[in-house]
């Protein structure tokens, strides 16, 4: 299945004029997760390329505050993709032009989001039921912006319609610079095991010449290594495994470079990174929203600690930054 020497991951690739010195580890777009504070942390920890949260085209062209705020980009997080979703070509083109003014390195088209409220409207992975519409939207965006355009898809809509090999060729012909593929169908959502065989077929299709980024069940160095070794992909994308775990990129790169695991992150370092994450989030989105959205991260920040349930409850119920810092102080005093 592989097409290149998988033992050499240092050769790098060029995507839309952006040179990656090594085959990239990519932070996947995730709603209410991949905001600027978290993206900066992941970059500091070794992510080579990051994506914004997915942004509604309709919200962006209506000047909706939440959508516009998602365009914020910090120089420390580059290269960064702004990802857009929508069901109508005119809105997607206009949104791409708005996004371009934020000066991203890439504009990415979301053909992969499986959630009902998106897919049922024909956006995200719901678009995989209408390949001609996918082509039209992709071609029009490519023709109407100057930054490189990429796309993210799934294998197909359902088990009977795994048409990613054909779709990949069509999107390449529309002019995209790279394609990321999640190894599940829309109907699978995030259930079951990701199927990388079709990702490999796309990568090894002699018609394909753009970089292919594989996504799905990349949780550590060994799973990333298998993806590169077996399927020859040009990069791997890490999603849910990065939540509350920004150092997964550092650990994964170390394993790819050495074949060995890094020692476990000391708890004191975990609490320090958690504090930095919280403080960056408060600065960017305000205390109340930051504390609420941080809740999804704590499980991975503090995994496997005996008798920790009491502290986890305190973390997720803390109503002020001072209260949260006091809980972290107590965790350090007891466990460090």
Residue-range domain boundaries for the chain: 13-258, 267-335
Q: Is the pLDDT of residue 278 over 90?
A: yes
Average pLDDT of 291-300? Answer: 92
pLDDT tens across 120-154, in order? 888 888 888 899 999 999 999 999 999 999 999 99
- Closest by CA to 215, choosing from 262, 152, 275, 160, is 152
What pLDDT, on a 0 to 100 scale, did the predictor assign at position 121? 86
Q: Please give the residue that has the higher pLDDT: either 335 or 42.
A: 42
Name which of 81, 71, 84, 25 is nearest 242 in CA terms. 25
Tell whether the model's pLDDT for residue 212 goes beyond 50: yes
In this prediction, residue 3 has a pLDDT band, given cuts at 50, 70 and 90, of very low
pLDDT at site 9 = 57
Give the pLDDT band (50/70/90) at residue 2. Answer: very low
Q: What is the pLDDT of residue 238?
A: 98
Say what the pLDDT of residue 311 is.
92
Least confident range of 185-194, 200-209, 314-323: 185-194
What local confidence, expressed as pLDDT, does residue 30 receive? 95
Amino acid 11: pLDDT: 64
Over residues 22-36, the pLDDT tens digits come to 999 999 999 989 999
Please write the tens of the pLDDT for every residue from 53-93. Answer: 999 999 999 877 788 889 999 999 999 999 999 999 999 99
The reported pLDDT for the residue numbered 247 is 95
Band (1; pLDDT cuts 50, 70, 90): very low
Question: Considering the chain, what is the average pLDDT of its residues?
Answer: 92
Is residue 289 pLDDT above 50, yes or no?
Answer: yes
Q: Does the pLDDT at position 225 exceed 50?
A: yes
For domain 13-258, give its CATH number from 3.40.50.1000, 3.20.20.70, 3.40.1190.20, 3.30.420.40. Answer: 3.20.20.70
Residues 6 or more apart whose Cβ sits within 8 Å of residue 82: 51, 52, 55, 70, 71, 73, 99, 102, 104, 106, 107, 108
The rounded distance, in Å, linking the Cα atoms of 195 and 217 is 9
Q: Work out the pLDDT band at 112, boundaries 50, 70, 90.
A: confident
Give the per-residue pLDDT at 63: 79
Tally of CA atoms within 13 A in the half-sphere of 43 that contains its CB? 19
**Is 330 within 8 Å of 302 (Cβ atoms)?**
no
The pLDDT of residue 188: 80
Question: Which tokens go with 42?
Answer: 């992941």
Q: What is the mean pLDDT of residues 96-121?
A: 92
- Active-site amino acid positions: 113
pLDDT digits (tens, 9 = 90+) for 232-268: 999 999 999 999 999 999 999 999 999 999 998 899 9
Three-class DSSP labels, the chain: CCCCCCCCCCCCEEECCEEECCCCEEECCCCCCCCHHHHHHHHHCCCCEEEEEEEEHHHHHCCCHHHHHCCCCCHHHCCEEEEEECCCHHHHHHHHHHHHCCCCCEEEEEECCCCHHHHCCCCHHHHHHCHHHHHHHHHHHHHHCCCCEEEEECCCCCCCCCCHHHHHHHHHHHCCCCEEEECCCCCCCCCCCCCCHHHHHHHCCCCCCCCEEEECCCCCHHHHHHHHHHHCCCEEEECHHHCCCCCHHHHHHHHHHHCCCCCCCCHHHHHHHHHHHHHHHHHHHCHHHHHHHHHHHHHHHCCCCCCCHHHHHHHHHCCCHHHHHHHHHHHHHHHC
For domain 267-335, the CATH architecture is Orthogonal Bundle (1.10)
Q: Is the pLDDT of residue 4 over 60?
A: no
């Amino acid at each position: 299945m592989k097409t290149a020497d998988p033992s050499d991951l240092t050769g790098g690739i060029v995507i839309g004029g952006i040179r990656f010195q090594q085959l990239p580890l990519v932070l996947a777009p995730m709603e209410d997760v991949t905001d600027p504070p978290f993206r900066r942390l992941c970059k500091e920890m070794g992510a080579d390329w990051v994506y914004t949260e997915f942004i509604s085209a309709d919200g962006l062209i209506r000047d909706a505050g939440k959508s516009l705020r998602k365009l914020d980009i910090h120089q420390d997080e580059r290269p960064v993709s702004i990802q857009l979703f929508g069901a109508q070509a005119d809105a997607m083109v206009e949104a791409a032009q708005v996004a371009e003014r934020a000066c991203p390195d890439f504009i990415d088209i979301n053909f992969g989001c499986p959630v009902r409220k998106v897919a049922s409207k024909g956006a995200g992975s719901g678009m995989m039921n209408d390949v001609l519409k996918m082509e039209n939207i992709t071609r029009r965006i490519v023709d109407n912006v100057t930054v490189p355009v990429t796309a993210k898809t799934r294998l197909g809509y359902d088990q009977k319609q795994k048409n990613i090999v054909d779709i990949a060729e069509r999107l390449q012909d529309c002019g995209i610079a790279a394609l990321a593929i999640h190894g599940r169908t829309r109907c699978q959502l995030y259930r079951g095991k990701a199927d990388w065989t079709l990702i490999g077929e796309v990568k090894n299709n002699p018609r394909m010449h753009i970089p292919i980024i594989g996504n799905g069940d990349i949780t550590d160095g060994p799973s990333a290594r298998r993806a590169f070794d077996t399927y020859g992909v040009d990069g791997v994308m890490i999603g849910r495994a990065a939540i509350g775990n920004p150092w997964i990129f550092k650990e994964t790169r170390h394993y790819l470079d050495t074949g060995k695991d890094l020692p476990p992150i000391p708890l004191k370092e975990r609490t320090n990174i958690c504090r930095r994450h919280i403080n960056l989030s408060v600065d960017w989105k305000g205390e109340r929203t930051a504390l609420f959205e941080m809740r999804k991260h704590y499980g991975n920040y503090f995994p496997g600690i005996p008798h920790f349930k009491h502290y986890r409850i305190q973390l997720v119920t803390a109503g002020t930054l001072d209260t949260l810092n006091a809980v972290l102080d107590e965790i350090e005093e007891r466990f460090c």
